[in-house]
Structure 1
Amino acid sequence: MRYSDVMADWLKDMGFTHCFFVAGGNIMHMVASASKRFTCIPVVHEVAAGIATEYFNESSRTERAFALVTAGPGLTNIVTAIGGAWLESRELLVIGGQVKTEDLSRNTLRQKGIQEIAGVDIVRPITRHAILLDDVADRQTFSRYVQDGAEGRKGPVFIEIPLDVQGREVDPGNLSGPESTTTEAALPCLDESVLQGIVEEIRAAKRPMLLLGGGVHRSITETLYDGLADMGVPITTTWNGADRLGFDHPMYFGRPNTWGQRYSNLLLQQSDLIVALGTRLGLQQTGFNWKQFAPKGRVVQVDCDAAELTKGHPRVDIALLADANTVLKSLSNYELGDHSDWGEYCRVVREKLPIVDQRNTTREGYICPYVFVQQLSRMSGANDVVIPCSSGGAFTVMMQAFDQKRGQVIITDKGLASMGYGLSGAIGVAFAHPDRRVILVEGDGGFAQNLQELGTVAINKLNMKIFIFEDGGYASIRMTQRNYFGGHYVGCDRLTGLGLPNWDALFAAYGIPCLRIGPGFEENGDFSNLFNSFGVAAFLVAIDPEQTYFPKITSRVTDAGSMESNPLHRMTPDLDEELYETVGRYL
């Protein structure tokens, strides 16, 4: 058999069902082999193949996808997607072509073979494993490489295969053997005494809070859904854990973050015990002013990566290397004490600090983005998959204002925070969930960075509803230039030279119905028909270019003249003193 056929069979045996790819000469054998065994989806640009693969794997419980790219530009084009998956700790297998082994420069020249570039060297720092297969590998070796990215703290794997190795005739019997199973030691189980110690910490606390991150699986919170309410401990989530609970869960109290919900930030900062499960507690989660994270409480962190537990920020009082899912399941079996007074206080704070801040300004004829997002969340269904892009004003508004429903899947890629992720990610989940409606919300500036993938959406007739915040450019950059540089705008909109398309003409070119919407859109019958019918549709949301985006964390100049970010509980604009005394009672 041809070696590319053998590798494809191995991948199929490992549960791979889909392949996102851009064909090329140096990957031609793998393309031919994959096309006979997998659902192969051609995309226009390699970065879309990587992002779609990441989102497919993150959303699917039963199927797996990989990306297939050619040598040279195929690899360099997908590096952004590899970087994003690395920062988010997500599975992403990238199989790349390479020139024939006899044409490899092996770092003695800048280039020998046509389109040759040292792909492994480029991506090694942002992968769990990067390898050049300049000779055939047996089944166990190959499967070990592949599985390395799907276990422990997940991450990308890059396997580069020269053209002649792909096409080599091999005897499968000589390469057979058992698949590699686990490539690393299982995470340690907590001793009963350690677990009991956490339980006693929660029982003794007056204001405990659980913070669930992306490391807590959706299947776990779904299984424990009612039990989490019975635990009686208020729960918040990170942005990567946004879909672990519905917004109406009795113990759910929002998404604290640098761009988080004000009430949630205040509650987290007033907790006297934060039990952080499956979150690395990065700067976006703790605030740039991480020294003032949890100023009134102790922090327990459970994570699968020892480096995250010992990095030194924020302060962690109890650091435990363990599987957060196992710990959460164990905690649900204990009586954790009566914290009903604290829970009632959390409800009071939430009631007094609505998500939509009335101090935002929206000019006539435009729709307030926060109002739009809340209305969209009410109209969405429990079976929807929601992609709130990954950067910019549209992203932060979605993560602040969207009220998620139980059963919805929400995926973003906030670590790299790259513009242009939304459409490609939505394509990935649309193939993972062909029976579900995919809702994508993205800014016009970000959408323009990968708009070529509208062709992929249209030709595959995906069930996708695309909402574009049409404000004429980069809203977050414009806001920064307004706030810090006195409104000296540079390269942030059409008036300063940013070329954006005529959206109506663009969608028409792909045969995608497009509707402009503004205030009162929910009463528009045309909107309702497009939104609720199967298939792709685009909606241009009229957003004020001068829209304000509050609340947010701002910085101030210290007495020493340096810049210091406010802590999470001090969002801008300030609350009036009487209200702050009510909602910040324990600060």
Structure 2
Amino acid sequence: MHLLNSARQTMTCVPVVHEVAAVVAAEYHNATVSSGKAAKPRGRAIALVTAGPGLTNALTGLAGAWLESRELLLLGGQAKVADLASSGLRQLGIQEVNGVAMAAPVCKRSLCLREPLEQQAFFAEVSSGWQARPGPVFLEFPLDVQALQVPEAWVAGIDEANINKADDAAPVIDSDMVHSLAASIAAAERPVLLLGGGISSVTAQQLEPQLASLGLPVMTTWNGADRYGAEHSNYFGRPNTWGQRYSNLLIQQSDFLVAIGSRLGLQQTGFNWQEFVPVGKVIQVDIDPAELAKPNPKLDLAIEANANDFIQQLLSFDLGSHPDWLAYCSDVKTRLPISEACNITPVGYLNPFEMVIKLSMLCNASDHIVPCSSGGAFTVMMQAFELQQGQTMITDKGLASMGYGLSGAIGTSIADPDVRTVLVEGDGGFTQNLQELATVAVNNLNLKMFLFCNNGYASIRMTQKNYFDGAYMGCDVSSGLGFPDWSKLAEAYGIDCFELGEAWWDAERFDHLWNHQGPALFLVPLHPEQTYSPKIASRISANGGMESNPLHRMSPDLDQELEDFVTRFIPKKAS
């Protein structure tokens, strides 16, 4: 209560309904500000929660920011120091739980302040959140410590120069090694540059002219999706287990992949990581030595470095020209459209891929895009949305927790209130935190919410259909889930609502809601049995486990002539 009373006097306070929304909103808010693309950004956000259940509710948000390597400061209340349970007790103080111990595995620093800290000591704890590989910091304040008065000398002022100070411990980059790597890229026949989220949006924006002039393909990870616009002729998509088919095929045919600022996790390499880039060398640049030391994928060169510093050095050298390889990549991209004819969309419903492609055409270069964090809406967005240079796209796919979309979009919209934020979310995920519609309404956020309405969890339904003969449980209304009447719910919160139909983009009411300041909810009617292809197929093995295909083997299969063309450089035994 003392922290809140102090915060309201010097900070802009935004109440939310649930603690997880506060933490997720703070994470996305800071990611938006850090992008450097906000028109009139507000300052950094922190999350403030109460003791006990406040912290336990916030743990999901801490875990998400930890996996995405994002800066986040969470301040939590706690019982008085004298009331903290001693060893062996479960609880002594009111609402007391060991928040520090619970938060520690997903925080760079987790600390209970049993006495006030002098400014520089406090700053040292907080600044650890953005040093080296970023991550959350949790500071717990017992009630009696909050109430103490501290000497004026302790808070005489903050050295602003230190707030954005570069990490002095960042590894020194060997310029001779970078020069040698550049020569290897120039000598390769089919090189690919993969940009990850470790490259800041600011750095990527500064380097756009150099990236656009490269004579080799540039791809992005999901976390780095907004680092390079789809309008560039040498942009070739976002490879992933749910990536674009053409992008997956091309990265697998590279003979020299340089991944900068990507941890090359299993979503990036495919679960069958043994066949990641089967005909080429893999070079990974990451600031975390643990990521470089893990057994998957197999690396030919691991470089511990700050991704921003490294790519700036790399682009200062000549990386060569590869016209034949670029031409082949363009041919493959042209022959493999994002919205594939194999998907089944019954009459009266919208095709989600076509809807997202159209939505990306309607957005402008200053829009902020939030594609939720899991489920069918998420994967369609990551496959089909064509990002423009200048847009931001923020998601949280490491934890892939349902319910992130609305809370994250709130944080983004608050960070840049005069610019449109576009959320695409599934009805299942939206239901997890739909109470935050109150936060949207009371703040009159310029937030356009597109809700995929298929009466359930599309990804769970697909899994149960494909692997368990349609034995549905807990995936839709008929198997036990319940959903509100969305138009009535929007009305209850005073938010305008519009259901998309045929040629929805030409409807006068859509145009009004889309282009005018303020919130709007757009309902996207999808059939419960809508198919979502292409995808990496898996099969149940003889011992009951799951076996996955490599990235280039997506389902359904292509016709033989087309497959032969788009897998030209993949050995037949691998394809």
TM-score (norm 1): 0.93
1:107·1:118 contact (CA, 8 Å) conserved in 2?
no
Residue correspondence of structure 1 range 13-32 to structure 2 within 5 A:
28-32=1-5
Q: Report what 1:148 is aligned to.
A: 128
Q: Residue deviations 1:319-362, cap 9 Å, x none? A: 00001111211122211112111111110000000000110000
Q: Report what 1:6 is aligned to.
A: none
Task: Say which SS state the counterpart of residue 226 (structure 2) adopts.
Answer: coil
Q: Which of the residues 538, 545, 569 maps onto 2:528?
A: 545
Q: Residue deviations 1:98-140, cap 9 Å, x none? A: 0111111134311111101100011111100000001111111
Q: Which of the residues 365, 374, 383 maps onto 2:357?
A: 374
2:437 maps to a residue whose letter is L
2:27·2:411 contact (CA, 8 Å) conserved in 1?
yes
1:469 maps to a residue whose letter is F
Residue correspondence of structure 1 range 51-70 to structure 2 within 5 A:
51-61=24-34, 63-70=43-50
1:387·1:441 contact (CA, 8 Å) conserved in 2?
yes
Q: Report what 1:290 is aligned to.
A: 273
1:445·1:473 contact (CA, 8 Å) conserved in 2?
yes
Instruction: For 1:561 and 1:101, locate their aligned partners in 2 and report how far apart those are by CA, in whole Å.
Output: 52
* Unmatched 5+ stretches in structure 1: 1-27
2:46 maps to a residue whose letter is F
The answer to whether the aligner puts 1:493 opposite 2:476 as a matched pair is yes
2:222·2:382 contact (CA, 8 Å) conserved in 1?
yes
Q: Report what 1:340 is aligned to.
A: 323
Instruction: For 2:158 and 2:375, locate their aligned partners in 1 and report how far apart those are by CA, in whole Å.
Output: 47
Instruction: For 1:498 and 1:178, locate their aligned partners in 2 and report how far apart those are by CA, in whole Å.
Output: 51
2:175·2:313 contact (CA, 8 Å) conserved in 1?
no
Equivalenced residue count is 560
Q: Report what 1:167 is aligned to.
A: 147
Offset of residue 227 of structure 1: 1.1
Instruction: For 1:227 and 1:54, locate their aligned partners in 2 and report how far apart those are by CA, in whole Å.
Output: 30
Task: Say which SS state the counterpart of residue 14 (structure 2) adopts.
Answer: strand
Q: Which of the residues 237, 258, 280 maps onto 2:220?
A: 237
Task: Say which SS state the counterpart of residue 301 (structure 1) adopts.
Answer: strand
Task: Say which SS state the counterpart of residue 141 (structure 2) adopts.
Answer: strand
1:39 maps to a residue whose letter is T
Q: Residue deviations 1:168-216, cap 9 Å, x none? A: 1221325769767769643123212111121121012100000000001
The answer to whether the aligner puts 1:41 opposite 2:21 as a matched pair is no
Instruction: For 2:465 and 2:88, locate their aligned partners in 1 and report how far apart those are by CA, in whole Å.
Output: 50
Q: 1:174 to 1:453 in 2, by over 3 A?
A: closer
The answer to whether the aligner puts 1:137 opposite 2:117 as a matched pair is yes
Q: 1:464 to 1:232 in 2, by over 3 A?
A: same
Q: Report what 2:67 is aligned to.
A: 87
Instruction: For 2:112 and 2:203, locate their aligned partners in 1 and report how far apart those are by CA, in whole Å.
Output: 37
1:258·1:287 contact (CA, 8 Å) conserved in 2?
yes
Q: Residue deviations 1:362-388, cap 9 Å, x none? A: 000000000000000011111110100
1:386·1:411 contact (CA, 8 Å) conserved in 2?
yes
Q: Residue deviations 1:543-585, cap 9 Å, x none? A: 0100000000011355777532000000000111110111111
2:397 maps to a residue whose letter is K
2:90 maps to a residue whose letter is R
Q: Report what 1:563 is aligned to.
A: 546
Task: Say which SS state the counterpart of residue 154 (structure 1) adopts.
Answer: coil
Q: Residue deviations 1:413-460, cap 9 Å, x none? A: 000001100000000010111111010000000000000000000000
1:139 maps to a residue whose letter is Q
Task: Say which SS state the counterpart of residue 40 (structure 1) adopts.
Answer: coil
Instruction: For 1:183 and 1:29, locate their aligned partners in 2 and report how far apart those are by CA, in whole Å.
Output: 33
Q: Which of the residues 493, 496, 499 maps onto 1:510?
A: 493
Instruction: For 1:407 and 1:363, locate their aligned partners in 2 and report how far apart those are by CA, in whole Å.
Output: 36
1:238·1:257 contact (CA, 8 Å) conserved in 2?
yes
2:79 maps to a residue whose letter is V
Q: Residue deviations 1:527-554, cap 9 Å, x none? A: 1111111110001101010000000001
Instruction: For 2:201 and 2:153, locate their aligned partners in 1 and report how far apart those are by CA, in whole Å.
Output: 40
2:519 maps to a residue whose letter is V
Instruction: For 1:168 and 1:218, locate their aligned partners in 2 and report how far apart those are by CA, in whole Å.
Output: 41
Q: Which of the residues 255, 258, 262 maps onto 2:238?
A: 255
Q: Which of the residues 199, 202, 220 maps onto 2:185?
A: 202
| Root mean square deviation, CA, Å | 1.5
1:499 maps to a residue whose letter is G
1:138·1:176 contact (CA, 8 Å) conserved in 2?
no
Instruction: For 2:86 and 2:514, locate their aligned partners in 1 and report how far apart those are by CA, in whole Å.
Output: 53
2:29 maps to a residue whose letter is F
Instruction: For 1:473 and 1:271, locate their aligned partners in 2 and report how far apart those are by CA, in whole Å.
Output: 39
Q: 1:249 to 1:107 in 2, by over 3 A?
A: farther
1:137·1:175 contact (CA, 8 Å) conserved in 2?
no
Instruction: For 2:76 and 2:153, locate their aligned partners in 1 and report how far apart those are by CA, in whole Å.
Output: 25
Instruction: For 1:561 and 1:307, locate their aligned partners in 2 and report how far apart those are by CA, in whole Å.
Output: 31
Residue correspondence of structure 1 range 291-306 to structure 2 within 5 A:
291-306=274-289
1:471 maps to a residue whose letter is N
The answer to whether the aligner puts 1:351 opposite 2:337 as a matched pair is no
The answer to whether the aligner puts 1:104 opposite 2:97 as a matched pair is no
Offset of residue 90 of structure 1: 0.3
Residue correspondence of structure 1 range 388-403 to structure 2 within 5 A:
388-403=371-386
Structure showing greater relative contact order (alpha-carbon pairs closer than 8 Å, 6 or more residues apart): 2
1:144·1:183 contact (CA, 8 Å) conserved in 2?
no
2:495·2:521 contact (CA, 8 Å) conserved in 1?
yes
Instruction: For 1:557 and 1:122, locate their aligned partners in 2 and report how far apart those are by CA, in whole Å.
Output: 36
Q: Report what 2:96 is aligned to.
A: 116
Q: Report what 1:78 is aligned to.
A: 58
2:461 maps to a residue whose letter is R
Q: Report what 2:38 is aligned to.
A: none
Residue correspondence of structure 1 range 397-416 to structure 2 within 5 A:
397-416=380-399
Which is further off, 245-254 or 459-468? 245-254
1:147·1:183 contact (CA, 8 Å) conserved in 2?
no
Offset of residue 47 of structure 1: 0.2
2:69 maps to a residue whose letter is S
- Overall identity of the aligned pairs, in %: 55
Q: Report what 1:23 is aligned to.
A: none
Task: Say which SS state the counterpart of residue 213 (structure 2) adopts.
Answer: helix
Q: Residue deviations 1:207-247, cap 9 Å, x none? A: 00000000011111211112112221210000011111111
Instruction: For 1:336 and 1:572, locate their aligned partners in 2 and report how far apart those are by CA, in whole Å.
Output: 35
Instruction: For 1:530 and 1:295, locate their aligned partners in 2 and report how far apart those are by CA, in whole Å.
Output: 48
Instruction: For 2:147 and 2:166, locate their aligned partners in 1 and report how far apart those are by CA, in whole Å.
Output: 28
Instruction: For 2:476 and 2:343, locate their aligned partners in 1 and report how far apart those are by CA, in whole Å.
Output: 21
Which is further off, 545-554 or 161-170? 161-170
Instruction: For 2:229 and 2:365, locate their aligned partners in 1 and report how far apart those are by CA, in whole Å.
Output: 9
1:517 maps to a residue whose letter is L
Q: Report what 1:312 is aligned to.
A: 295
Instruction: For 2:275 and 2:201, locate their aligned partners in 1 and report how far apart those are by CA, in whole Å.
Output: 30
Q: Which of the residues 427, 447, 463 maps onto 1:444?
A: 427
Q: Which of the residues 481, 502, 506 maps onto 1:523?
A: 506
1:340 maps to a residue whose letter is P
Task: Say which SS state the counterpart of residue 541 (structure 1) adopts.
Answer: strand
Q: Which of the residues 444, 450, 463 maps onto 1:480?
A: 463
Q: Report what 1:278 is aligned to.
A: 261
1:104 maps to a residue whose letter is L
Instruction: For 2:115 and 2:466, locate their aligned partners in 1 and report how far apart those are by CA, in whole Å.
Output: 57
* Unmatched 5+ stretches in structure 2: 35-40, 571-575
